[in-house]
Amino acid sequence: MHNRKFILFSTLFVLILVGGSIAAYLYTSPSNQAKNTVETFYDFEKEGNFSSSWKLFHPYMKERFDKGHYIQDRAHVFMNHFGVETFTYTLKSGVEKISSWKPDKEAEAIGPVYAVTVVQTFKGKYGHFSIQQKVFVKKEKKEWTILWDYNK
């Protein structure tokens, strides 16, 4: 009887250990971290916290957008022109790993990057509309960063 309890508790311990290891791996996998970065970026954008979303940009993006201009432009275009106060977003697809990618045809290839398709849905003075955009995520100096595609 005592031996059965030992086997039961040992088996239960091993199952918990294996399950915890799998959960930890899935949570910390590069694909999941890339997805979390995209969600964090769009949560900031949704709140109108464009300063925080700008900080998540890859250095390539920060060269394209001065922080002050980005903050002003995002608020102006989405909030003022479209007449919306906020938006919802969904991640349309799974995370795709791309070994080598260029943000524009003149840039050097970088990789790996992780691609996530985001659909933003706005409700404003011009009705309801959605914007679909593929967003790329790259780990840069231990930080996950956001890139947009400028290829024509």
Please list, in sequence order, all residues whose beta carbon lies within 8 angstroms of the beta carbon of residue 85, skipping any fewer than 6 positions away. 79
Q: Look at residue 15 in the predicted model and tell me its pLDDT.
A: 57
User: Could you give the CA distance from residue 99 to residue 110 in angstroms, rounded to a whole number?
Assistant: 8
Crossing angle of helices 30-46/2-28, nearest 10°? 60
pLDDT tens across the length of the chain (152 residues): 667 776 766 666 555 655 544 544 445 699 999 999 999 999 999 999 999 999 999 999 999 999 999 999 988 887 788 888 789 999 997 899 999 999 999 999 998 999 999 999 998 888 889 999 999 999 999 999 999 999 97
Residue from 86, 31, 63, 72 nearest 147 by CA: 63
Report the relative pairing of strands 87-91 and 113-124 from DSSP bridges: antiparallel
Q: For the domain covering 2-148, report its CATH number.
A: 3.10.450.100
Domain borders along the chain are 2-148
Burial class of residue 99, CB neighbours in 10 A (0-12, 13-18, 19+): exposed
pTM: 0.81
